[in-house]
Structure 1
Amino acid sequence: MEYQEKIRIFYYICISYIFGILVASFLPQKIIKNIFLFFCIFVLLTSLIFIFNKKRIKLILLIFAVLFFALWRYAFYLPQDTLENIWHYNGELITFRGLVNKEADARLNNQKLEISELAIMSNHTKKVQGKVLVTTELFPAYAYGEELEITCDLKKPEPFSGFDYDRYLARHDIFSVCYYPKILKIKSENKFSLKQNFYKNIFLFKDKMRYLIEGGLSKTEADFAKAIILGDMNAISKEWQEIFSRAGISHIVSISGTHISILAVIVMSFLLNIGLWRKHAFYLTNIFLAVYIILIGMPASAMRAGLMGFCVLWALKLGRISKIFNSLLLSAVILLLINPLLLRDDIGFQLSFLAVFGIVYVLPYIKKYSEKILGEKLANQKILKIIIDVFGITLAAQVFTLPIIYYNFGSISLVAPLTNLLVLWVFPPLMIFLLLAMLVGWFFPSWLIVIFFPAKILLAYTLFVSHLLGAWKYAIF
């Protein structure tokens, strides 16, 4: 079999699987629950591939076999209502114990806790599978790894105000919620696992970093810094979130594939433009991304985003940014094999891949036409080249993501290209200044205001530009 034919079959398999997942996500529950039927059809079609000799028939059978495999995978992933799953008890008043398995998500008036490793307390302790999202008061605070005994009316997540809250939580494997329950902290004698100790130390480290950032910057600057360096999106006030949205730079304060892909390309372009060899820039950028993802607690969204960012960096290392379609397609299939709910229900997943495709396929044309307009000599001057890269990366990403943004949020920022051009170049040095300030501030906490001053200047500039353009009444369409 020739290489081109193998590639063609690879495309058919990947696209058929993705299309199958898309179809499954819109099928009624009565149909999608036919797990056994989908599996039988998949096995039948796969068997027929070995019976027929004609290549075209084999290919058609392969496409439909993969399609029904996708339907089966989606159906198999959906929650099954059994006594061993916590969501079986939705609608009941129950008492259960579990561990806080993530950082508490502190909001303005409450906090949300994700509880796992569950056991229902009745006449006897019964371990069950699943996770519960608990909404409770801001105080007392709860830490990662704490064991809690919770008594509440367990509920199924429900849509509200046109928002599919149930589907939103399902992508995180959460099918049960409870609100303002009675909570009792349990002194657990169980030792933390290696993984739990690792995460606990990361979260303790993040708490220390928050303290340092808050000590060296004003509240608004500190909230912004915590969002971009620690992933604390909820630290930013609703007012500033609206300003960033209107200015078209929400992607820089939310951990997503768009955020990390753009950041990765900008950091690598910055390193290349200051004279590093492509190989060295590639490794340094990957180290930077790894440290950054660990620093924000390695959430699943950041891990997925890191995979996409690596694909783009690999193409930049090879110097052939338009040659990574295969890698991106394979990445999408792998992620959808792990969690098929991502395709329809995770806007971040959709935006991430569209942004990467935009960078891969639109950016080379922007660079090409920039050289034509400015002339090759002028366009390759270091400062101008950095400006072209920043503007091109942002514009390329937004060209592909605009339809999804408009469909989900009902508006598009008209000033986004200008805002991104003015502020995105700041981010490589800003991230470096913040990381260095936190490192030095750890040893010299009494000098925090001085240590954070370089970062403070860049943060103040970014906030000023964002407010200036975001506050314009014609900023959004």
Structure 2
Amino acid sequence: MTLGNKIFWLFLFFIVGVFLSSLEIKIIYLVLGELVVVLAFLFLGIHKSSKTFLILAVLSVLFLVGAVYENVFDYYRFQKNLPEYDIQKVIEGRIVSYPKSTGKSISFLLKTDERKIISVTTTIFDNFSYGDSVRLESAISRLNEKNSYLKKDGVVGTVPFPKIIERKASQEFSFRKELFKLRENFVSVFNKILNRNESSLMSGILLGQESTQFPSDLKLAMKNSGTTHLVALSGYNILILINAIYFALGFVFKRKTNFIVSLLAIVVFVIMTGGEASVVRAALMGALVLLAQNANRVYNFKNSVAAAAFAMILFNPKVIVFDVGFVLSFLALFGIVYLASSLNALVLFKNEFWDGVKKTFFETFSAQVMVIPVLAAYFGGFSLSGLLSNVIILSLVPITMLAGFLVGLAGMIFLPLAKIGGIVLWPLLSFETTVIEFFGSWSLVSVSLGAAGVVFYYLTALFFVRKLFLKAKERELNFGFV
């Protein structure tokens, strides 16, 4: 076994240990499972006289290390830091997240003077900004199954609709606050040049659903048509944007220059969206895709992905279970790098433009194939009409995101430029909203795969991806990520 493969398995065992521990499986069961795995590897190693299995037996110890690390992290970050629940009292702190509006309420994260992070929900009539100091009166509630995803942000409790005693606007300079203002400027440009539905969709696709308020009819249509994930600002969306930028710049710059400019575009996008942790993680995944596309044949992509996942989980183990964007990022990345690259290598066009269009389509399609089960689980099922609507819309998402990005930048410099760009942007968004509303009016059955269905789906997908990958390798095609 090569050093690279040893490192890969070391990271993988650690990640699996963290994942299973995050599911709150008792440590005694994890120890017994590790014992079975070690004995199995030892048996195979001795029986087959294979050093590989013996090495895996040793490396599998990292499975327990990961489980223990998650437990220690949980204790010091949460169990040791729990507030007093269900007791009415005055709470003081500072807002440490961008206030998100649902149209009916506003929610934000508050870091209390005791350095505990709580999620606060208030009425839409309250006006809050990042960095504000807040004094309120309420009781802190425990997290439940519906809001357990907040653990990824270090949240230890929730405060629904408290009595606001005092709010003080922050007078100190905050770089992140300025970034949030930049995002608001983007939304303002879209609101000025587009109709409400188109503006909401553009803001959601490019900046995330928290950046704008969706009309109730459009929100319902997106839910019924299975397209809500388009505005989730997951790693999936960002990977699509990055690939679209790389494709477009390919007509202007040479390969190496395109790579550098695309990396700078990633940095600009992260800044534009407020530098939130989920966006930074997805941007890192996008950078890995660009690296895979520009590296030579000896570049070991799977090790880079494993190392990136290891680093992110080491920093915050809760993301592997409670952050759907984290999971979508890696699944979409796998689809783009392995499935899409295999299809691109096997299907060739002589015309450079159409070959680029084909490449973008395969990347979008491959990412969608890999994330469907997770989307179905996270959004409570995947409608049959959603399959059709996504096939139609996803092919336009890359150019829509790229056009929206450029129009937004132009609008902040000189608004008439954005109005000119809107001539290209509006037809795309108008068509997409029409598709969403059309399929949203269908009443087809929603499909839920279940745990067994998800496992079967991914095993089948891995089988076919491997077949395609090996077929492409047989033709001695250079992928750049072997």
TM-score bin (small chain): 0.7 to 0.9
Query: How many residues matched?
Result: 426
User: What's 1:405 paired with?
Assistant: 375
C-alpha distance in structure 1 between counterparts of 2:224 and 2:77, whole Å: 43
Q: How far has the Cα of 1:293 moved from its partner?
A: 1.3
* Identity level (%): 21
| C-alpha deviation, 1:28, in angstroms | 4.4
Hey, what does 1:255 align to over in structure 2?
233
- Structure 1 residues 130-181: Cα deviation after superposition (integer angstroms, max 9, x where no partner): 201111111121111111111101111222xxx4x22x11111101111111
- Summarize the alignment of residues 411-422 of structure 1 with structure 2, pairs less than 5 Å apart: 411=382, 413-415=386-388, 416-422=390-396
Partner of 2:92: 97
Provide the residue aligned with 1:147 in structure 2. 133
Gaps of 5+ in 2: 36-49, 448-482
Q: In the aligned structure 2, how far is the partner of 1:222 from the partner of 1:96?
A: 37
Give 1:464's aligned residue: 434
Taking the TM superposition and a 5 Å limit, the aligned residue runs for 1:271-290 are: 271-272=249-250, 274-290=251-267
Q: Distance in 2 between matches of 1:458 and 1:27?
A: 45
Change in CA separation of 1:230 and 1:426 when aligned onto 2, cut-off 3 Å? closer
Report Cα offsets for 1:270-296 as digits up to 9, x if no partner. Answer: 322x25211121122222221111111
CA distance in 2, matches of 1:363, 1:84: 46
Whole-Å separation in 2 of the counterparts to 1:347 and 1:58? 35
Is 1:185 aligned with 2:155?
no
Is the aligned partner of 1:270 residue 2:267? no
Residue 8 in 1 paired to residue 16 in 2?
A: no
Other structure's SS at 1:108 match: coil
2:171 and 2:445 map into 1 onto residues whose CA distance is 53
Relative to structure 1, the CA distance from residue 191 to residue 138 in structure 2 (aligned partners, 3 Å threshold; closer, same or farther) is closer
Q: Which residue of 2 aligns with 1:47?
A: none
Cα deviation, residue 245, structure 1: 5.3
**Alpha carbons of structure 1 residues 183 and 13: separation in structure 2 relative to 1, 3 Å:** same
- Closer/same/farther in 2, CA of residues 380 and 241 from structure 1, 3 Å limit: farther
Change (3 A) 1:249 1:310: farther
Cα offset for 1:327? Answer: 0.7
Range that drifts further, 350-359 or 409-418: 409-418
CA distance in 1, matches of 2:290, 2:6: 26
Partners of 2:77 and 2:291 in 1: CA distance: 43
SS of 1:171's equivalent in the other structure is helix
Equivalent in the alignment of 2:150: 169
Q: 1:29 & 1:275 partners in 2: Cα distance?
A: 56
Change in 2 beyond 3 A, CA 1:219/1:186: closer
Match of 1:348 in 2: 325
Match of 2:289 among 307, 312, 316: 312
Distance 2:289 2:78 in 1: 43
CA contact (8 A) 1:146 1:185 kept: no
Q: What residue identity is the alignment partner of 1:104?
A: P
How far apart, CA to CA, are the structure 2 residues paired with 1:280 and 1:364?
21
In structure 1, the partner of 2:72 is 76
- My pick for the range that moved more, 224-233 or 301-310, is 224-233
Instruction: Report the Cα offset of residue 83 of structure 1.
Output: 11
- 2: distance between equivalents of 1:469 and 1:280? 42
Equivalent residue number for residue 200 of structure 1? 177
Whether the 8 Å contact between 1:112 and 1:136 is mirrored in structure 2 is yes
Q: How does 1:204-215 map to 2 (within 5 A)?
A: 204-215=181-192
**Does the 8 Å CA contact 1:251/1:258 hold for their aligned counterparts?**
no
Determine the C-alpha separation between the residues in 2 that align with 1:224 and 1:82.
37
Change in Cα spacing, 1:319 to 1:471, as seen in structure 2 (3 Å) is farther
CA contact (8 A) 1:224 1:235 kept: no
Shift of 1:469: 4.9
Distance 1:418 1:56 in 2: 46
2:119 paired with 1:133: yes
Find out whether 1:438 has 2:416 as its counterpart.
no
Larger RCO (alpha carbons 8 Å, 6+ apart): 2
- In structure 2, what is the equivalent of residue 367 of structure 1? 344
Q: Which runs of structure 2 are paired with 1:39-118 in the superposition (5 Å)?
A: 59=55, 62-80=58-76, 85=81, 87-116=82-111, 118=112
Post-superposition shift, 1:402? 2.2
Distance in 2 (alpha carbons) for counterparts of 1:343 and 1:448: 39
Secondary structure in 1 aligned to 2:174?
helix
> Helix, strand or coil: the match of 1:133?
strand
Describe the shift of the 1:407–1:10 C-alpha distance in structure 2 as closer, same or farther (beyond 3 A). Answer: same
What TM-score does the superposition give when structure 2 sets the normalisation length?
A: 0.79
Shift, 1:385, TM fit: 1.7
Matched letter for residue 169 of structure 1: L
| 1:261 partner letter | L
> 2: distance between equivalents of 1:171 and 1:67?
21
**Mapped contact 1:267–1:285 kept (Cα < 8 A):** yes
What amino acid does structure 1 have at the position aligned with 2:323? D
CA distance in 2, matches of 1:399, 1:275: 31
How far apart, in 1, do the equivalents of 2:307 and 2:196 lie? 43
Matches of 1:240 and 1:157, distance apart in 2: 30
